[in-house]
Structure 1
Amino acid sequence: MDRYVIKNGKRLRYGYTTGSCATAASKAAAMMLLEGKAIEKVKIDTPKGWELDLKVHDISIDATGASCSIIKDGGDDPDATNGLKIYSQVSWRNDGEIHIDGGIGVGRITKGGLPVPVGSAAINPVPRQMIEREVRSVIGEGRGVDIKIYVPRGEEVGAKTFNPRLGIVGGISILGTSGIVEPMSEEAFKESLSIELSMLRNEGVEKLVMVPGNYGRDLARDHFRIDEKHLFKISNFVGFMLDEALAKGIKKILIIGHMGKIVKVAGGIFHTHSKIADGRLEILTAYLGLMGASREDLKKIMESNTTEEAIQSIKEFGYDDVFLTLAEKISEKCRQRTYHKVEIGTVVFSMEEGVLGVCPIGEELLEEFKNE
């Protein structure tokens, strides 16, 4: 992929996700199934708005279907899946439906709390939408196809990821909310965030809505109707960005974060990547214990597969108030970090339940940002 970003004086290349690879392979296979001849390249659109033009490999066309592969390219942010061949096999079906499943090397969901149901292939919602949209654009309405995504080395590579801990067995996950892999050299990335914040301050900005990632950004923009000029993506660097905000004179910060990531701050963890620390369930369990939850209920939370699953259990137990308590504690920890010189509020949410808790200062800041 011939796109670059300059971070800390380094020229770093973007890549594309396993979701984009599966989409491109599926579209190419659908084109070859329809036309009966091989193609060398295929173009797809990504949620980021960038078009990808990818080379097609391992072409096979016969009377029953067509298949091919796309090679995963992580750019200058290589991960365990970099260089893998992501295959798609497409065949006709008798109705007008598009059915997507995973084959060898694509993990299977065995525990709840993930974005796709137990028993399904680990192909996340956004890649599924991308695949269906691009394939439908090829075959048109009225036709149906079966699509099988498979990764011959997926089981080997999946064992080296967090998938086994999440109950995803047998392979990798097909992921990506933007379709694009952004270079993530940590120090370079932090430096670029600092520069971006300095530029905002030079423009007179004194208050921000900080979001760890795309989901928080989308909630702020689409649900709370907050102007994008206030939105600042901080990735996992909560503490670093609070320090930078204090040093650069930011007066007010609203944090909008998914419970699975931002809850760590309630336990004093200010770098939220799981490789640094992962006390999500421990923190949830501790606060539920303070509220009087039973030993049996606490045990169930500690044994949850994901934060989303734990949230469902908490709601079943009737301890919804813990979400407000956690939002207040996150804000308190952040204010302590900034020596109480920055006004800070917090909104916590989940993918399945939406907004879970908003602390009092968070409510005030929401109104302030919405009214601008």
Structure 2
Amino acid sequence: MESFPTPERGTAEPATPEPGLILPVWLAAAARAAVQGLLGEPFCPEQPLELEPGAPPRPVLVEAAAPLAAGWVLAVARADPGPEVLDLTRGQPVWAQARWLEGPGHWLELVAGEGVGVIASSGAPCLSAYARELLQRTLQPLLPPGRRLELHLVIPAGRRLAERTSNAAFGVVDGLALIGTQALVQRSAAPDQLQQALEQLRRLVASPGFAGALVLVIGENGLDLAPRLGLPPQLLLKAGNWLGPLLVAAAEAGVSQLLLFGYQGKLIKLAGGIFHTHHHLADGRSEVLTALAALEGLAGPELACLHQAATVEAALADLQATQPALAARLRARIAAAIEQRSRAYLARYGHEALAVGAVLFDRSRQLCARGPLGAPLLAELRGGGAA
């Protein structure tokens, strides 16, 4: 199989790009190299990517590119999430396979290949808005007028790696989701991630028109889902795992209303008084769920079954199937407990004026519970629409 020219032995090795980039960036770099191959250009191991609109191009390393049969070109990159980051994609090869399409249609036909997650309800590739925009910004300027592109993205180990993630809890199957709102990896358990969040908090509070409300989202899924549900993007702050310090910092910065918005299987930790939510530090979700279920009247074998479920999501889904009214009451109790524990946490630091509401979503990315303060606050922040 003929390959595109690569640097000869003895020549200077290409500079290693700065690490710390999310998975979609490495796939975009591989895709660009594949398109260059379609255009007959020599292989370039450093692909210049405009990671943010208008930003100077940054080199992202691609390992190889080669033509295949039937007009395909394959390019390979290797994910590097950066030092001191616990990320299961480290060192994993990612592939982009491209060929020209004939006839009319959209300029890009994107296909989730092996190991790339798809949305179970639609079968569509699971890409965040940032990932899609990055592909468009990277590839569309390369296409000659009238040309259309078919692009297959592949993560060879993605299906196996996805079993160690919460993708399935959000309705993503068959592989890893390509999500993220910016190019750089956010280290949710590291102190510098807290510092970044605190700096963003200060910017939000100092921005013109700030009226005292803030939405604290937990993780990329919450950050992606919140605007789709009508929450103003300018009020969103990604907390990662540092919920306790950010609650206190928000109160000290003058926030008067704060909405906690997150996945039920993560936010339930707050109902147990756990305010740093990384699983390496503390868990206790099963115990919290069982205690709250007991307070709702569940007992005996049914309570034991709830405790033995593999995840909070599975436990609540099983309860929903057999006792839907009880499941709804339990979810409401979880949301109320999150609010109560958050108020108690703030009171320990002398901040009792901050009103904290909680809104939870489930694996299907549907709202499933609102706390006593969360329900009206959600409606208010969505402009008074139905909550």
TM-score between the two structures when normalised by the length of structure 1: 0.70
Decide whether the 8 Å contact of 1:30 with 1:135 is kept in 2.
no
Q: Which amino acid aligns with 2:334?
A: L
Is 1:342 the counterpart of 2:345? The answer is: no
Equivalent pair of 1:256/1:348 in contact (CA under 8 Å): yes
Contact 1:69 1:85 in 2 (8 A): yes
User: For 2:372, which of 337, 360, 364 is the aligned residue?
Assistant: 360
Shift of 1:212: 2.1
2:184 aligned with 1:181, yes or no? yes
Name the counterpart of 1:17.
Answer: 22
SS in 1 for 2:75: strand
1:206 Cα deviation from its structure 2 partner: 3.8
In the alignment, structure 1 segments of 5+ residues that lack a partner are 1-12, 110-114
Match of 2:305 in 1: 299
Name 2:7's counterpart in structure 1.
Answer: none
Q: Name 2:262's counterpart in structure 1.
A: 257
1:31 deviates by 4.5
**Greater percentage in strand:** 1
Whether the 8 Å CA contact 1:23–1:130 is kept in 2: the answer is: no
Structure 1 residues 95-134: aligned runs within 5 Å:
98-102=110-114, 106=115, 116-117=119-120, 124-126=126-128
1:368 is displaced (CA, Å) by 4.0
How far residue 331 of structure 1 moved from its aligned partner, in angstroms, is 0.2
> Is 1:326 the counterpart of 2:334 in the alignment?
yes
Quote the offset at 1:335 in angstroms. 0.5
Q: Which residue of 2 aligns with 1:73?
A: 80
CA separation of 1:274 and 1:62: change in aligned 2, threshold 3 A = same
Shift of 1:227: 6.0
Closer, same or farther: CA 301–226 of 1 in aligned 2, 3 Å: farther
Shift, 1:333, TM fit: 0.2
Q: Counterpart in 2 of 1:3?
A: none
Code of the residue aligned with 1:176 in structure 2: it is: I
1:209 has 2:221 as partner:
no
Task: Tell me what 1:63 maps to.
Answer: 69
Greater Cα shift, 178-187 or 326-335 = 178-187
Q: By how many angstroms is 1:281 displaced?
A: 4.0
Shift of the 117–49 alpha-carbon distance from structure 1 to 2, 3 Å rule, reads: farther
Summarize the Cα distance change of 1:366–1:143 in structure 2 as closer, same or farther, 3 Å threshold: closer
Does the Cα contact within 8 Å between 2:269 and 2:277 map onto a contact in 1?
yes
Q: Is the 8 A contact 1:87 1:150 kept in 2?
A: yes
Which residue in the other structure is 2:275 paired with? 270
Inter-partner Cα distance in structure 2 for 1:73 and 1:26: 17
SS of alignment partner, residue 236 of structure 1: coil
Residue 37 and residue 76 in structure 1: after superposition, are their counterparts in 2 closer, same or farther (change >3 A)?
A: same
Alignment-mate amino acid for residue 381 of structure 2:
F
Are residues 1:35 and 2:39 paired? yes
**Maintained 8 Å contact 1:67/1:89:** yes
Deviation, structure 1 residue 344: 1.5
Contact kept in structure 2, 1:285 and 1:302, CA below 8 Å:
no
Are the counterparts in 2 of residues 314 and 320 from structure 1 also a CA contact under 8 Å? no
Distance 1:327 1:140 in 2: 53
Structure 1 residue matching 2:69: 3-state secondary structure: coil
- Does residue 147 of the first structure (1) align with residue 152 of the second (2)? yes
Structure 2 equivalent of residue 8 of structure 1 = none
Q: Which has the higher contact order (CA 8 A, sep 6+)?
A: 1
CA distance in 2 between partners of 1:206 and 1:260 (Å) = 28
* 8 Å CA contact retained: 2:22, 2:185: no
**How many angstroms apart in 2 are the aligned matches of 1:44 and 1:310?**
44
Distance 1:283 1:125, change over 3 A: farther
Q: Spell out, residue by residue over 1:63-109, the C-alpha distance to the aligned partner (whole angstroms, 9 max, x if none).
A: 3432221232334554454444423344689999654322xxx59x9
RMSD: 4.4
Instruction: Give the TM-score taking structure 2 as reference length.
Output: 0.68
What is the aligned length?
Answer: 339
The answer as to whether partners of 2:256 and 2:353 remain within 8 angstroms in 1 is yes
User: Shift of the alpha carbon at 1:55?
Assistant: 3.8
**Structure 2 CA distance for partners of 1:61 and 1:212, relative to 1, 3 Å:** same
| CA distances 1:87-145 after superposition (whole Å, capped 9, x unpaired) | 3344689999654322xxx59x9xxxxx7559x9xx84449857986899559999785
Q: Distance in 2 between matches of 1:179 and 1:194?
A: 17
CA distance in structure 1 between the aligned counterparts of 2:167 and 2:257, rounded to whole angstroms: 40
Aligned mates of 1:370, 1:361 — CA distance in 2? 14
Residues in 2 aligned to 1:141 and 1:313: alpha-carbon distance in whole angstroms: 52
Shift in alpha-carbon separation, 1:330–1:134, aligned structure 2, 3 A: same
Q: Identity over aligned residues, as a percent?
A: 22
Unaligned 5+ residue runs, structure 2? 1-17, 169-173
